[in-house]
Amino acid sequence: MIVPSFTNSYNIQSILIMMSIYGFLALGQCMCMFIAEVNMALGANIAFAPITAMTITRMIYRANGIEIVRARIYLLGGGGFLLVFTLVVSVLLMLLIGFIVVNYRLPSLLVTFGMQNVLIGLCYLIGGQFNMILTEMKYIDIFGSVTVGRSVPISLIILLFFVVSIALLLKYTRFGVYIHATGGNEKAAIYAGIKTRFWKMLAYAISGVCSGMAAIFYSSRLQSIAPTQGLNLQFFGLSVAVLGGIKLRGGGGNVIGTFLSSLLIALIINFMQMSVIPSWYQTIIMGAVVMTAAVLQQRQPSRSKLN
C-alpha cells in the first residue's frame, strides 16, 4: 500500500532534491571510477568544504571590519563567497587526493578512507562543535528548495545540465577517449602516448566540482552547516554509480544510467523513511541492492565471452 503523503507535491520535491545530491556525489564517484579509482572522501567533503569556505569568508569580512556571525551560530552574509569558496576548496582537496594517489601510486581506497577521517577531524577543529545556521542569509535556499513550476527543483536542472555535458564530452571528444583508455588499460594508454597522470588529475578535479555542488545543495537544503553533515553519503554516491552501470574496474560506464539510478535510490530511501522502516533494515536493504548490482555487473563480461 502506498503511503498517502508519498505522492504529494512536497514529498516529490524532496525526492528530487535528494536525487540531485546523490546524483552529484555519484557523478564525482563516476569520474574516479572511470579511471579505475574510487573516492571515499566525497561524503566528508559535504561538511569540510562549506565549513572551510565559511571560515575563509568570515576572515575576509573581519579584515574589513564586518562581523557576519551573530550569537556564534547565525551566518548573516557572504553567500556569494561561500558558494565560490566551497567549490574551490572541493576542487583543491580532490586535486590533493589525486596528487597523492597518482604520484605515489597508492591505492585510492586507502588514501580516500584516510582522508575522510582527516576531514572529519578538521571539520571540528575549524568549525567547532556548533552548527552554523543559514536561515538569515538571503537567497541561500535557492539550491535547496526553490523550484521551477510546482515540483522541479533548480538543483535537479543543474544536475541534468552536468549529466548531459559530461555524457557528451565522454562520447564525442578526446576527453572521453583518454579517460576511458586511462581507466581501461593504463599501460596501453601510456604506450599510446596518452598522458594518463594529467587525465587522472583532471578526473579528480571534476570529481571535486561535483562534490562541491553536492555540498552546496545539502547545506542549502538544511539551511545549516554542521560538522557531521554528509557522513556516510559517500556510500550512497558509490551505490548510485554501481547501480548506474559504471564499471568497477574502470574504463566504461554511462552517466545517464547514473542519473536514473540516483532517482531510484532517492525513491527507495524516501519510501522506506515514509514507511517508518527501522534504520537498520534500511541499511541492510541498501547494502543488498548494491551487492546485487555489483554481482550482475561482474557477470556481464562472462556472458559476452560465451557469446
The pTM of this model reads 0.93
Query: Residue 2 corresponds to which cell in the numbers above?
Result: 502506498
Pick from 123, 125, 145: nearest CA to 134: 145
Pick out the chain residues at pLDDT < 70.
1-4, 300-307
The pLDDT value given to residue 1: 45
Residue 8 sits at φ, ψ, to 5 deg, of: -75, 160
The pLDDT value given to residue 73: 85
Range of the domain at 15: 4-306
Roughly how many angstroms between the first and final C-alpha of the chain, as a whole number? 42
The pLDDT value given to residue 247: 84
Residue 150 sits at φ, ψ, to 5 deg, of: -90, -45
The pLDDT value given to residue 4: 57
What CATH number does residue 193 fall under?
Answer: 1.10.3470
Cα distances (Å, whole numbers) of residue 280 to 32, 261, 266, 285: 29, 22, 17, 9
Q: Are 42 and 274 in contact (CB under 8 A)?
A: no
Number of domains in the chain: 1
The pLDDT value given to residue 303: 38
The pLDDT value given to residue 300: 65
The pLDDT value given to residue 2: 52
CA 209 to CA 115: how far, in whole Å?
Answer: 17
The pLDDT value given to residue 249: 79
The pLDDT value given to residue 169: 95
Which residues 6+ apart lie within 8 Å of 151 measured at CB? 9, 12, 13, 16
